Each structure stands twice: as structure tokens, then as C-alpha cells.
Structure 1
Amino acid sequence: MPHSVSLINTIAAGLGLALVFGFLAVRLRLPALVGYLLAGVIIGPFTPGFVADAGIAAQLAEIGVMLLMFGVGLHFSLDDLLAVRKIALPGALAQIAVATLLGGALALWWDWKWGEALVFGLALSVASTVVLLRALEHLGILDSFTGRIAVGWLVVEDLAMVLVLVLLPPLAGAMGGHAGNPAGGAPDPLWQTLGLTLLQVGGFVALMLVVGRRAFPWILWQVTRTGSRELFTLCVVAAAVSIAFASAALFGVSFALGAFFAGMVMRESEFSHRAAEESLPLRDAFAVLFFVSVGMLFDPSVLIERPLQVLAVVGVIVLGKSLAACALVLAFRYPLRTALTVSASLAQIGEFSFILAGLGVSLGVLPVEGQSLILAGALISIATNPLWFSLIAPLQKWLYARFPLARGLESRDHPLAELPSTTEARYLSRQVVLVGYGRVGRRIAAELEANDIPYVVAEQNRELVGKLREAGIAAVWGDAADAEVLIQAHIARARVLVVATPDAINVRQMMEIARTLNPAIETVIRSHNEDEARLLTQETAATVFLGEQELAQAMARDVVRRAVAAA
């Protein structure tokens, strides 16, 4: 086969087999990504038959990571990340430390050198960007506060791994490997390497936040003025890929992190929602190729040759990391549901683990068998990750039923978890309970204020609740899907419950709790799509507002008014 068509071969075989096996997986009630991974195994070098170009597949997967992180950045502002910094920064660093210790201890038990154990543990400590984001998007909680915690956690992990990848070559000699870097040459002094890395990362972030926030929205506006949809789509994709590549080439940060910040600065444009929609098909297609490329790296023989070692690695990834993350989130006094969701999000490893493993092998600080075990652990943890998300709700119910302490974790004694005793009586009866104080919630609150209608906010962002209290707004901290939170908001005497969050999963539970405590209460729900809105209307008998529908009706009313006035 001519080399000139290897790209076509890889795309055709990867997407074609991913479609077939993804369809079969769904019919067997398995996650589609299991089929994508299996497609990669089939066209990989470790199984007979056609072998796709692994190098090309890996690069296509990188494009998928760029587009996916760019799309996430379009939905997140700097304020969103800063809002979760108090838990994401220390939590991610502590979780990396715990996972590294667990993986390192396992490697030392196998009589590996301490340097090999350290690299092995680090490779097991960082989650996959693509897997985490796909899971949150599938559950519809990417824009929720819990989703923001998970994404903030992921950003911190990415930054930490950037430092690890830069510092590993100069430290390789002291760790029992080859001093220098994979390309050869003497290593720079450690202090110089660390200082340069921090300077590069800081320079990149500053450039994007200071210059990028002005330049890229302006460029998008100029392209939009041409009226060409093709140019608009090209501008969006070019921004995602080009900025990600430039950030890696000039500043040494990862493609994923560069694309994420590109999306964040592009969010300043009024066309950010359109940009997200235009890039969605490409994001989905290339994300599939990411899973295919992971499958291509997997050697099934490791399951036969080292089954117990593979099982131990999966245990560290799925159980060790998850339990550590869960304990850390609970230690920061966040609800059990948030802790379980974050821990499930991190119960897998991915692209950074592959990069670190490859670098470790080339530097002689990780045995080849270690790389095989990391790849096996990645594939199994990615394939089983949807299962852990599906177990969150039943596990939470089981913990509530069996352990009183679990219920106490949801209603723990915190000053922001209940209204102050000095709260005025007008906020305790015939008030509106507003769940969520995001972009939609703030606008609803402003209208209520303008009409002198008392309301109480229920919000999961603890720092935001503190600020609302300081501003004189009645607010309680917690997950409104928990009865205790709605009780603290005095739902039993409220006249209206407004759910302004995009949490489609827990809204039914909120409705059930509200109607149990207050059968006469009126309910208003926010929805994202017609199918979901129809189901919510049927199941909850609530008034459901669909964004596109309300926009169309408002525009139609304005058009009719103008037409009548001109007649």
C-alpha cells in the first residue's frame, strides 16, 4: 500500500470499525466507547490482519483532544475556574501524591528501582481529558458546579504533568536512567529548567488572558461580518488547533491546555455559542479517533502474561485514585454526591500517562513492561468508566440506607448550609426558591429583585453563597437534590421553585422532594433540548422553558409588533 494513502487508510479503518463496533456495543447495552477501543485493538500492531499507522492515529487523536478542550473552554470563564480553585488546586495535587504513592509502592513490591516506581506512580495519577469531558457531557453536568470542580481538577493535573515532563529528563540520571533528554545532550541545571518552565507557562497564561481576550473575539467578529459560514467554521477550527500547537511549540504547555485557554478567550465573543455548535461534529469525530488510537496501543497478550499485575494496576486507578479523590472532596466539606461524581471522573488514565510512559522508557526510568501495564490499565479503566458513573446514584442510596454518617455528610454542620436566624420573615414564607445562581439564575434573581419578590437561592458553590450572604441575599449552600437543602430554603412554605441549573439528572428528584414537602408549590424548570423538555413536562408537570423556543417566541413577538405598527 503506498505510503501516501496511509492517512486515508487510518481514518477509513478507524472510523469504519468504530462505527460497527460502537453500534454493536450500544445494542449490547455497553458504552459506545468500548466498541471504539475494540476497533483500535483490531487495527493495532498486536493483532493479525490490517495494521493502521499508529503515528498518524495518535496525531489525529491529538486533534480530537484540542477540539474537545477548545469546546470546553468556550463554556468556561476564568471566573468559573477561580470559583473552584480552593478545592481543585489542593485536591488535585493531593490526589496526584496519593496515586503516585500507591503506584510507586506497587512497583517497589515488584522489585523495581525507586526511579521506575516514581514514574510508574505518576503515570497512574493523571486522568484522561477526553474521557472525563465526554462523561460529563453525556451526563449533562459539564456546566454544573460539580462539573466545574472536575474540570478545574483536570486543569491542575495537566499543569502538574507539564512540569513533570519537563523536569524528568534532567532528573533521569539521579533516578537511575540516562542523564539528558531523549534527543541526547547534557541536561540543563534543575533550577534553570524549573524556572524556565514556570516562566513559559506564566507567560502563556498572561498572553492569553491579556492579549487573547481582546484579539481573538475581534478576529471572530471580523470573520462573521463576511457572512461566510465556511470561513466562520474555519476560523474556529484554526483557532483551536493553531493556538494549541503554538502554545506547545513556544511555551511548552500541552496541546490540551493550550486549546482550553483558546476556548476561554474565545468565550468573550458574542458568537461563542455558535462557535461551539460549528465545531461539534469535528470534535465528536476526532474524539472517536482518540479512543481508537488508545486501542491500537494495547497488547492483549499482557492480560495473559501478567494478569495479576494488570489487576493491581486497575485497582490503583479505579479504586485508589477514586477513594483518594472522594475523601479529599469530603474533607473540603462538599456533598457526598459531588465527591462521588468527582471520584468517578478521575477513575481512569489517558493521554498524559501514555506520554509520560514513553518518555520514561526512552530515558531508562521505566521498564518496557511498565509501559505495557500502564496501557492495559488505561484501556480497562476507560472502558469501565461509564459503569462507575452509572453506580453513583444507587451507591449513594445504599450508603444513605446503611450508614447514618453518609447522610450526615450531606447535611453537615456548616454556617452556609442553613439560613441565619436573623433572616427576615418575608424570605421564609411565600418566597421563591431559586436553584442555581449562574448566568440564568442571576437574571431571574434580578427580575425578582426589581419586582420586590422575596427569594432564597440554593447553590452548590460555597464561595458564591458566601458572597451572596455578604450582599444581603438569602442563600443556602448545598445540592438541591438533597431534601435537607430544600428544607433549609423553607420549600414547605414557598410558592414557586425555579430550577435554573442545567442539571437534567437531579431535577426530577428536586421536583419530587418539593412536591412531597409542599404539594401546592408551582415549579419552573430550565431545559436544553426538546426531547428533554417534553419528558420533564410529562414526568414532573412543571412549566419547562426551552432556551431556543423562548428565543424564537420573543423574536416572533417583536417581529409581529413591528409589522403591526408599520401596517
Structure 2
Amino acid sequence: MSTPLISTIVLGLVLAFVFGTVAHRLKLSPIVGYLAAGILLGPFTPGFVADQHMAIELAELGVILLMFGVGLHFSWSDLTAVRPIALPGAVAQIALATLMGMALADYMGWSAGAGLVFGLALSVASTVVLIRALAENNITETEQGRIAVGWLIVEDLVMVVALLMLPLLAPALKDSTLSFTMPSLAEPGPIVTALAAMTLKLAAFAGILYYIGRRVLPLTLHYIARTGSRELFRLGVLAIALGVAYGAAKGFGVSFALGAFFAGMLLAGSTLGHRAAEETLPLRDAFAVLFFVAAGMMFDPKILVSHPLETLATFLIIVFGKSVAAFAIMRAAGADNGKSLTISASLAQIGEFSFILATLGLSLQLLPQQAHSLIVAGAILSIMINPILFSLIGKVSSWADMFEGTPCMERPPLPDVPEGEPLSRHAVVIGYENPSISVIRALISHGIPVYVLEGREVNLHIMASQMHHAIQEGFIRYGAESGANFTDAAALVLSTPFHQRAEALAARALHDNPDLMLIGYASTPEHEYWLHAQNARLIIQPETDQTSAAAQIADTIIDDGFIQAKNQTEHVNRAAVIKPKSK
């Protein structure tokens, strides 16, 4: 019995899980594992070969849902906040990286179209890898973190335009040579006509979608939400994403990816946008995995041996060429070495948009198979080395400051903690780092005062910049264990990796206050057993995402009657710690 669809999905997901888990254990991005699974299932390695045409169809669904997710998380406010540096910086960096890619393509004798697609694919960073790197290094909400996110948004927008324009320019780019000159357009009439027609179609599509998005979609989602059925709500969101993408492609000639991006943008602006993102996350993740598996299936590992210099050159453009360009742009904009190096490390990798562009280039017959393999090889190598680049930022920044003779900038003083009575009926959280940051935000948004056990100066300064109002209002205190006042505390949250110090701290806290609620993260079965032995009120499992875990912790503390949160929440809102949600 032949079941190519089932075989492709099952083997793709199973192998992606196995290799993704191995990659995670090796401190690598799971994307590396997903690509490895695709390589194993592809026609260039021995053993079972999955149906490549079926995989491409599944990858197209993955592209739709990936772009829908990009649209759901797209934020004009994030871009506007860092526009003066992110907008020109990203455009300049894309241009420089694209030129480097085109130069390598010219060396290999490719056409102008191949060089352009290849260069663009090397110029855009992976959203998944970048966001994860910022979170793991506790800099998502710092100034350089916001610049990196804004920079990424600009890159995504440029790639969306590229996805729109490449099919129109393909006939002119396909057969022309590069040699650092764009193809001769002796008869630009057909291209101008096609561009004009596409512009009109896109304008009509955007107008209709805007009207539907403002009038029809919110009413539909609110109606479904009132039914109380999560299944219907999830199905409704997916129907909108896939339906808009399909309608855009069939009715207006717009790509599936662009239609899905617009659909995500519209839902992001609605009051149910956050819930839409949360409900569709599992399916988006599953098909995104299949997309990376399909990309890996088109990778020929022999290119590492047959074209080692070209592979090395591709890797150097991604990791060093882009980084040097971004560093120079940031320094020219007046940023210090630390911020400039952070942005450089953030962009020194490629991922999902690169594969989308490469897949489009193959389908348009612009890109040779060799180019696709080079892009996948560059992605795997750059994602593997990215954590190392982040670990070197501090040392390289200090060395650069010494080389330039730049005196170390003094940090601003920490805000004074208001004097008064010690906190009571509060939660004690260990450390200001992820996932503790998410927990602290959830607690203060629910009106629960927090004492943060933190003595590391760098983390204290980050907390001071992110939680300034809460500290000034006395809603967050911080310091050593002696100031935690466990006797009057409501809960102790063990959100850091387990070690003997954390266990000893919990033992002392429970000795001072036997009624203290203990909440912990179980990263291993041994940790879970220990938490059960301590009668922990809530145990967070490893697969729980940070936002959900933080909400569970706040709800557990409130539901147990430890905190009289209603009046205190109003106090927090007046302090402008977290804006109250509009009703």
C-alpha cells in the first residue's frame, strides 16, 4: 500500500523530533536538527527517500503559516521606536550583503537572477534564531534588543517586497549574465506593464482585505469566541489565514506568503490577535518543522566536498561579511561597541526567509540547485556558531574599547529603593533572568509585590531600566537573602536551574515559614521528585512556554488566597508598570 503523504509527514516529524532533541542537547537551535532530518530523508543520502513533490506541497503550507506568524507578531510601534537607526541600517546592511552574495555568484558564473536571489537569501537573518538568542542572553528588552527586533522587522518587510517582485522580474533576470551590471532592458514595456498590473492588483487586494479586516474579521472572531469553543476559534483563525492566502494567489496573483502575511497583520491589530497567535501556535510550529525538513531534503551534502571554497565563502559572507557591515553601520550611527557587536552577532545567521527565497528561486528557474545547497549549508553552519558569537561579545567589546582608548562608561546609579516597612504577602523570585523576568512581570501585573534575590550588577542595571516605575513605587525590592523576609512572604518561586544553593535556600525559607507556598520549575525527573517531596504547590514542566508558566504562577498565588490583589493592581497601574488592558 502506497501512502506517500502519511510516510512523508510521519517520518519528517519523527526524525525532526529526534534530531531536534539532539540539537537542543548540544545547545544548538532545533532548526539544525530539522534540516538534518530533511537531509536524511532527501534523495542525496542513502536509505528511505521521502516524496519530494509532496514535501514541497507541505513546505508551501509551512511558508503560509510561517508568514502568517510573522504578520501576527509584526508591530509598527516596535519599528517606529527604533526607526532612526533600524530602518537605514537594515536597508544598508541588506544592500551590502546582497552585493557580496552577487560577487560570489559572479565568480561562479551564475546569471543576474541567481546572483540577486542568492545575495538576498544571505542578507536576511532568521526570526526564530534571533529571538531565541536575545531571550537566552537576557537582552530582548534592552535598547540593543529593541534595535535588533526593529532591524529584523525591516528585513522581513524587504523580503516580502522581494517575494512580490521576483516573479515579475524573473523573465528579464533568468538568462542575463551578472558582471556587476543589471540586465539590459531594451524593451521595458512588458515589465512596466506587468509591474503596473501587479500594483493595481495589490492595491485592490489590500483595499478589500483592509475592509474585510476592519469590518468582517473582528465580528467573526468575536462571535466564535463567544461560543466558548476553542476548536471553532482555532479553526476560524486557520480558515482566515489559509483562505486569505489562497484568495490572494488565485484572485489577485499575489503569492501565498504575502497573502498570509497581510492576514496575520490584520489579526494582530484586533483585540483577539494575541489569542489567535496562541491558539494557532502548535499547528504553525508543526508545519514550520515540515518546511525546514523539506528545505533539508533539497540539500546535497556532497557540496561540502565538491565545492569547499564556495561553501566557506558563503559561510564567511553570512557570519563575517554581514557582521562587519552591521558593526560599521551601527558605529557610524553613533552606537558604542557593545551595542554594535550585539547587533552584529544577532544578524550573523540565516534561516526561514532564506529558504523561502531559495525555494522561490528554484521554482522560477532562477537559482541553480548548487545555490540552494550552499544556502542550506551556510544556514546550518551559521546557526551552529551563533551562540559562540554571543558569548564573545563582552570580551571583544572590552578589547575594542581598550584599542580605541575609550574609557569604560560608568553605569548610571541604581534607583533608590523607597524606605518603609519590609514587603509582606509577597513573592520571592530567584534572579533577574529568563524565565524569572516573565514571572516577575506576570506577578506585578496581578498586583503581587516581588522581592528579587539578585546581586549581579549587570542584571540589576537591566532590571532597573526595565522595572524602573515598579522599583520606585516599592512594588519590587531586590537584594540579598537577608532582605527577603520569608516569614511574611506568600510564595517562593524557584525559577532558576536547580543546584544545591537553591535547595538550601528553599529549606531555610520553609524553616522560617512552614506555610510558604513553594513553586518550582522541573527541568529533570529528579527535580520534579524533589519538588513533590517539598510539597510544592505548583510544578512547571519543561515543555511549558514562559508566558503560560508565568500566568499559571500568578493565578496559583491569587487563587490560594494569599494576595489581596484587586486594590494593589490599581496601584500598579497608576505607577505605569504595565498598562492596564482595555476592556
Query: Taking structure 1 as the reference length, what is the TM-score of the superposition?
Result: 0.67
Q: Which residue of 1 aligns with 2:286?
A: 285
Q: Distance in 1 between matches of 2:68 and 2:111?
A: 39
Q: Distance in 2 between matches of 1:125 and 1:286?
A: 24
Equivalent residue letter for 1:165: L
1:480-559 alignment to 2 at 5 Å? 532=495, 546-551=550-555
Paired residue secondary structure (1:403)? helix
Q: Distance in 2 between matches of 1:118 and 1:57?
A: 26
Paired residue secondary structure (2:123)? coil
- Residue pair 1:146, 1:341 contacting (<8 A) in 2 also: no
Paired residue secondary structure (2:47)? coil
In structure 2, the CA distance between the partners of 1:73 and 1:105, relative to structure 1 (3 Å rule), is: closer
Bigger Cα displacement from structure 2, 550-559 vs 16-25: 550-559
Equivalent residue letter for 1:398: V
Q: Which residue of 2 aligns with 1:258?
A: 259
CA-atom RMSD in angstroms: 5.0
Q: Which residue of 1 aligns with 2:194?
A: 193
Equivalent residue letter for 2:295: V
- Are residue 325 (structure 1) and residue 326 (structure 2) matched? yes
The Cα shift of 1:277 comes to: 2.6
The Cα shift of 1:41 comes to: 0.9
Q: Which residue of 1 aligns with 2:393?
A: 395
- Residue pair 1:170, 1:187 contacting (<8 A) in 2 also: no
Q: Which residue of 1 aligns with 2:52?
A: 54
Q: Which residue of 1 aligns with 2:161?
A: 160
Summarize deviations over 1:247-287 as a string: whole Å, max 9, x none: 34445555444334323322344433333332222222222
Q: Distance in 2 between matches of 1:128 and 1:346?
A: 8
Summarize deviations over 1:463-501 as a string: whole Å, max 9, x none: xxxxxxxxxxxxxxxxx9599899999x9xx867889xx
Q: Which residue of 2 aligns with 1:246?
A: 247
- Residue pair 1:399, 1:406 contacting (<8 A) in 2 also: no
- Residue pair 2:350, 2:382 contacting (<8 A) in 1 also: no
In structure 2, the CA distance between the partners of 1:358 and 1:546, relative to structure 1 (3 Å rule), is: closer
Q: Which residue of 1 aligns with 2:573?
A: none
Paired residue secondary structure (1:49)? coil
In structure 2, the CA distance between the partners of 1:377 and 1:488, relative to structure 1 (3 Å rule), is: closer
Bigger Cα displacement from structure 2, 161-170 vs 42-51: 161-170
The Cα shift of 1:352 comes to: 5.0
The Cα shift of 1:100 comes to: 1.9
Paired residue secondary structure (1:299)? coil
- Are residue 38 (structure 1) and residue 55 (structure 2) matched? no
Q: Distance in 2 between matches of 1:12 and 1:256?
A: 25
Q: Distance in 2 between matches of 1:339 and 1:210?
A: 42
1:25-174 alignment to 2 at 5 Å? 25-112=23-110, 116-128=114-126, 131-132=129-130, 145-146=146-147, 148-172=149-173
The Cα shift of 1:237 comes to: 1.9
- Residue pair 1:104, 1:121 contacting (<8 A) in 2 also: yes
- Residue pair 1:92, 1:154 contacting (<8 A) in 2 also: yes
In structure 2, the CA distance between the partners of 1:554 and 1:359, relative to structure 1 (3 Å rule), is: closer
Q: Distance in 2 between matches of 1:520 and 1:553?
A: 21
Q: Distance in 2 between matches of 1:117 and 1:378?
A: 16
- Residue pair 2:170, 2:366 contacting (<8 A) in 1 also: no
Q: Distance in 1 between matches of 2:249 and 2:342?
A: 31
Q: Distance in 2 between matches of 1:196 and 1:301?
A: 43
Bigger Cα displacement from structure 2, 228-237 vs 345-354: 345-354
In structure 2, the CA distance between the partners of 1:351 and 1:210, relative to structure 1 (3 Å rule), is: same
In structure 2, the CA distance between the partners of 1:550 and 1:22, relative to structure 1 (3 Å rule), is: closer
Paired residue secondary structure (1:124)? helix
Equivalent residue letter for 1:301: K
Q: Distance in 2 between matches of 1:531 and 1:238?
A: 41
In structure 2, the CA distance between the partners of 1:355 and 1:19, relative to structure 1 (3 Å rule), is: closer
Q: Distance in 1 between matches of 2:363 and 2:119?
A: 17
- Residue pair 2:89, 2:330 contacting (<8 A) in 1 also: yes
Bigger Cα displacement from structure 2, 217-226 vs 31-40: 31-40
The Cα shift of 1:246 comes to: 3.0
- Residue pair 1:33, 1:383 contacting (<8 A) in 2 also: no
In structure 2, the CA distance between the partners of 1:189 and 1:254, relative to structure 1 (3 Å rule), is: same
Q: Distance in 2 between matches of 1:231 and 1:411?
A: 55
The Cα shift of 1:223 comes to: 0.7
The Cα shift of 1:217 comes to: 2.5
- Residue pair 1:161, 1:352 contacting (<8 A) in 2 also: no
- Are residue 218 (structure 1) and residue 219 (structure 2) matched? yes
The Cα shift of 1:46 comes to: 1.2
- Residue pair 2:101, 2:119 contacting (<8 A) in 1 also: yes
Bigger Cα displacement from structure 2, 377-386 vs 46-55: 377-386
In structure 2, the CA distance between the partners of 1:247 and 1:91, relative to structure 1 (3 Å rule), is: farther
The Cα shift of 1:69 comes to: 3.9
Aligned match of 1:11 in 9, 12, 16?
9
Q: Distance in 2 between matches of 1:207 and 1:429?
A: 54
- Residue pair 1:411, 1:484 contacting (<8 A) in 2 also: no
Summarize deviations over 1:108-144 as a string: whole Å, max 9, x none: 3345565654444334333445555665677677776
In structure 2, the CA distance between the partners of 1:60 and 1:114, relative to structure 1 (3 Å rule), is: closer
The Cα shift of 1:22 comes to: 2.6
Unaligned runs of 5+ residues in structure 2 are 179-186, 420-432, 448-456, 486-492, 507-518, 520-548, 567-583
Equivalent residue letter for 1:122: L
Q: Which residue of 2 aligns with 1:377?
A: 375
In structure 2, the CA distance between the partners of 1:136 and 1:191, relative to structure 1 (3 Å rule), is: farther
Paired residue secondary structure (1:50)? coil
Q: Distance in 1 between matches of 2:16 and 2:265?
A: 31
Q: Distance in 1 between matches of 2:88 and 2:349?
A: 20
Unaligned runs of 5+ residues in structure 1 are 178-185, 420-426, 448-479, 500-510, 523-529, 563-567
The Cα shift of 1:330 comes to: 3.8
The Cα shift of 1:155 comes to: 2.2
Q: Distance in 2 between matches of 1:382 and 1:396?
A: 25
Q: Distance in 1 between matches of 2:56 and 2:365?
A: 23
The Cα shift of 1:161 comes to: 1.3
Q: Which residue of 2 aligns with 1:309?
A: 310
In structure 2, the CA distance between the partners of 1:137 and 1:289, relative to structure 1 (3 Å rule), is: farther
Q: Distance in 2 between matches of 1:484 and 1:406?
A: 25
Q: Distance in 2 between matches of 1:328 and 1:559?
A: 50
Q: Distance in 1 between matches of 2:564 and 2:459?
A: 44
Bigger Cα displacement from structure 2, 54-63 vs 253-262: 253-262
Q: Distance in 2 between matches of 1:255 and 1:520?
A: 57
- Residue pair 1:10, 1:53 contacting (<8 A) in 2 also: yes
Q: Which residue of 1 aligns with 2:544?
A: none
Summarize deviations over 1:374-417 as a string: whole Å, max 9, x none: 423323423541531343143233321453378969969xxxx9
Paired residue secondary structure (2:48)? coil
Summarize deviations over 1:396-448 as a string: whole Å, max 9, x none: 33321453378969969xxxx999xxxxxxx986679xx9xx9x99x989x9x
1:170-185 alignment to 2 at 5 Å? 170-172=171-173, 175-176=176-177
- Residue pair 1:68, 1:130 contacting (<8 A) in 2 also: no
Question: Across the two proteins, how many residue pairs are aligned to each other?
Answer: 478
Q: Which residue of 1 aligns with 2:576?
A: none
Paired residue secondary structure (1:227)? coil
- Residue pair 2:303, 2:374 contacting (<8 A) in 1 also: yes
The Cα shift of 1:13 comes to: 1.2
Equivalent residue letter for 1:397: K
Equivalent residue letter for 1:95: Q
Q: Which residue of 1 aligns with 2:230?
A: 229
- Residue pair 2:327, 2:344 contacting (<8 A) in 1 also: yes
- Residue pair 2:97, 2:322 contacting (<8 A) in 1 also: yes
Paired residue secondary structure (1:189)? helix
Summarize deviations over 1:171-190 as a string: whole Å, max 9, x none: 2378359xxxxxxxx99623
